[in-house]
Amino acid sequence: MVILISNLLRRSLRFAAPFGLAVWSVTAPAQSNEQEGSLLAYPLAAGDATRVEVKVAFVSDGYRRGPCKIVESSGDERADAQACRTVSFYKTDKPLYAVTSAWLMPEFEGEFVAPKLKNSKKVVLAISNSYPRYELSKGHQGATSVKLLIDSAGKVTNCITAQSSGYATLDSVTCKQMMRAKYNSAQLNGEPTDSIVYTNVFWGAGSGPPEP
């Protein structure tokens, strides 16, 4: 069973935006990732974000990301900033190289205010207690990035896996829990609007990289 570490509970109250959740097994150290802002958020009417690839190098204890740097850029600074959060990191003392996804913001006109998660504590608790037992017992871990469709009232109406953790069950649980998230309405030119939010959840069991 996965428990929520008290330190994560305290930090969850300081979330500035609804992104970058992380969960750990019961053996995890009492630390959590700092909140780093959104992966991506924009009006639904703007259309689809463009997926790009970024190569990164990282070191990790398998529960939280350690030093991470861009090795091969996507050519877009904002997309590159997402890469060290979307990558599935593993326990490694030496730099491990990986290619991960990031997304380019579609163009739109007007002043946009992104939706903000209202029940972050509840969402963190739900995700932290839902690590599938089989996946945890096998040491399966990874980062699931999802695309959320949010209506003008702040309700999540759909969740789509944008980048898989490598394990369908972890991806499925991520969407199941994120569908329960509640947001304040996004605003476009001062009016409520439907929006899209990209966010991610890291499932960490302290494991090393999977066998090739």
Handedness of CA 71, 72, 73, 79 (dihedral sign): negative
Q: Give the pLDDT band (50/70/90) at residue 128.
A: confident
Among all chains, which residue has been given the structure tokens 């380019």?
104
Greater pLDDT, 68 or 19? 68
Residue range 147-197, pLDDT digits in tens = 999 999 999 999 999 999 999 999 999 999 999 999 999 999 999 999 999
Predicted model pTM:
0.82
pLDDT > 80? residue 41? yes
Mean pLDDT of 71-91: 94
- How far is residue 21's CA from residue 156's CA, in Å, rounded to a whole number? 17
- Give the whole-angstrom CA distance, residue 2 versus residue 181: 20
Q: How far apart, in Å, do the first and last CA atoms of the chain sit?
A: 28
